Amino acid sequence: MSGFTGTLNPQQRQAATHIHGPLLILAGAGTGKTRVITARIAHMVNEGIPPEHILAVTFTNKAAAEMRERVKDMVRDGLGRKVVLGTFHAFCARVLREFAAQAGYKSNFVIYSQGEQVSLMKRVLKDLLVKDEKLDAQAALARISKARNHGESLGDPAEDLHAAIAERYAAEMRALNVMDFDDLLCLGVRLLEEHADVRALLHQRHRFLMVDEFQDTNSLQMRLLRALAPPPYNVCVVGDDDQSIYGWRGAEITNITEFESFFPNPAVVKLEENYRSTTPILHTANSLIVHNAGRRPKKLWSRAHGSDPVRLVAVDDDKEEAEMIAREVERAHFTMREPLESFAVLFRTNDQSRVLEQTFRRHRIAYRVVGARSFYDRREVRDILSYLSALHNPHDDIALLRVLNTPARGIGTVTAELAREWSMQRGCSVWVALCDDAFLRQIPEKARAAVRTFTALINKFYQSAQAQGTLLAPMTEMLVAETAYMEHLKKLAKTPEDYQGWENGVGELLKQITAYDERNRKDGLAGFLDEVSLNDEREDKDDIEKKKGVCLITLHASKGLEFPIVYLPGLEKGILPHKRSHEEGRLDEERRLFYVGITRAQKKLTLSFVRTRVKWGKPQSELPSPFLDELDRAHIEELDYSRHMKGHASIEENTSFFAGLKAMLAQD
């Protein structure tokens, strides 16, 4: 038995040593799937499979980095570094750069962030809509994205406004040589499906495929996987249909529940031994999820029996609910020395955090809200990245227009708008307009001189940016200095703290560029910009490690995380399940979301609901979530907190209270 698999349990070992043919690993919450995946890769290399023939795909850069480090440590002679690891989007970006011409692009294409997509869409809407028409840019992008990810048509552009917008948006993207996240998948799939030579080359290059978090894949990602994997289908997927909670953004649970229809006769291995939670927590979770139809049966169990039952608490209102949580955190922290970082409060909707935050501040309890603004969305970071994007591809209008007069150099909004109109009339980029003498003659002499100074600056640094082996960090420092960008920030700052924050942001970005120079100089500026565009730190889960205090986080964002002590407040009908779930047919997904929340807890779990909640300024009566009635009470302690605080309620009184609630739910 090899050292890679010798410490695994029998089911984990079975999964790690199965190499050939399709394999479905059903990995329940907390069952050690990352350990299994890395052990499997190490085992394959040890068995003589060239590591460069192994392609492992994850959903986040962080997961890929963690896996890469583990594999590197496990595999001898540095062979682990040769395993191809990354996200679906990163893989597609790499393939599209290599075969850009076949995809109809130039290899120096830029990947747009969400903010850049919104800016371009606003421009498209301004050009297409009449004055009295209004359409939200983000809503338009969401509709287009949904259609593309599901392979749906928006209709005839001549008859349907959204189809016309989608057509114009796509044309603008192609003209600017830019892609968005949907393009990476759509064009990657099209490239593989329509170009047999590319497909054959990738088949030779990547002979063994692995996909993590398979329950989160959408139809496009499944098409990509099928195009990459010819018979005998050396495909290993790892996932848990019970944790499929992203149907609202296109994830197809049928990819995992009907895996056999895509890859015939797979081996199926269930990982059910949980290393995270206690028996009461797992028993409660199991009793909930069995109510979902069409799931692949599995039952989590643990050797850690635990002494604390799951608590189900009724409270009067959301203020009392928050007060209960704050007091219990306070007591455990100050009397039992429990670190604040041990606690997490998981909620269904973002607005639930408001009362919690107010209460924590009043009690002076440190907390961290996961989901704040991304580092890459900060003003100063976005400015410098826009400069770098313009150096990589001067025809990127969004980046170019952002820095055209940043810092101020005498190019006003009128000149910028004239350049944009000129470019649209002639079907060229704004950069082409700015370099065209015919355009320059149309603008005042002062603005003309300023434009020429700007284009000279871009041309000067463009040469450095494109040169092989250029160190990006020193180049960026020179750019910041030559544009007097820090002086620009000083003028903008209303307080010394404002400037300090911006200065820190610039410094942090330069550190990241320096680190990139040290590890990946060969891919140059294109590689760095790809890393930034594809970076999933905008999900802000790194806040969990960087910040101190109780973690306040949505149920969706909590997936993949674990905490010793977990609170799930707001378990009322209309919140969980969400009121829209009935209309949209997503009741099963809401139940899975609750299941994910329960299985984040390691030692202690408290579920709570309120009798009254303030909505639109008025108190309204609430009903407990119908999911609560599905829970087996064998390991649950039920408590009426309000009565408990006013004078301890007896066990009989609590039992009677909750029996009444059950009867109410049964009648509803």
Q: Which of 475, 469, 474 is nearest to 523 (CA)?
A: 469
Compute how many other C-beta atoms are within 10 angstroms of the C-beta atom of residue 591: 24
Q: Which of 534, 396, 527 is nearest to 465 (CA)?
A: 527
* 206 contacts 84 by C-beta, under 8 angstroms: yes
What are the residues whose beta carbons fall under 8 Å from the beta carbon of 444, sequence distance 6 or more?
none
Structural tokens at position 490: 């000083």
- DSSP for 399-443, please give it: HHHHHTTSS--S--HHHHHHHHHHHHHHT--HHHHHT-HHHHTTS
Q: Which of 642, 609, 636, 632 is nearest to 347 (CA)?
A: 609
* 304 contacts 278 by C-beta, under 8 angstroms: yes
Determine the Cα–Cα distance for residues 571 and 565; give it in Å rounded to an integer. 17
How many separate helices (H) and strands (E) can be counted in the chain?
Answer: 31, 16
* 292 contacts 641 by C-beta, under 8 angstroms: no
Question: Mind telling me the catalytic residues?
Answer: 33-34, 212-213, 243, 600
Q: Which of 52, 100, 43, 48 is nearest to 75 (CA)?
A: 43
* Beta-ladder partners of 270: 26
Determine the Cα–Cα distance for residues 156 and 362; give it in Å rounded to an integer. 57
* 53 contacts 207 by C-beta, under 8 angstroms: yes
Decide the pairing of beta strands 563-568 and 23-27. Answer: unpaired
* 39 contacts 16 by C-beta, under 8 angstroms: yes
* Beta-ladder partners of 343: 565
**What are the C-alpha distances in Å from 648 to residues 320, 636, 652, 653, 656?**
16, 18, 11, 10, 15
User: Could you give the strand order of the β-sheet that contains 54-58, starting from the edge strand earlier in sequence?
Assistant: 84-87, 54-58, 208-211, 235-239, 23-27, 267-271
Q: Tell me, what amino acid is at 68?
A: R
Compute how many other C-beta atoms are within 10 angstroms of the C-beta atom of residue 285: 27
* Beta-ladder partners of 438: none
In total, the chain counts a number of residues equal to 668
* Beta-ladder partners of 110: 178
Judge residue 464's burial from the number of C-beta atoms within 10 Å of its C-beta, 0-12 exposed, 13-18 middle, 19 or more buried: middle
Farthest-apart Cα atoms in the chain, separation = 89
* 341 contacts 551 by C-beta, under 8 angstroms: yes
Q: What angle do CA 284, 288, 294 make, to 5 degrees?
A: 140
* Beta-ladder partners of 620: 613
Rg (CA), the chain: 28
Determine the Cα–Cα distance for residues 242 and 238; give it in Å rounded to an integer. 13
Q: Which residue reads 């749906």 in tokens?
A: 152
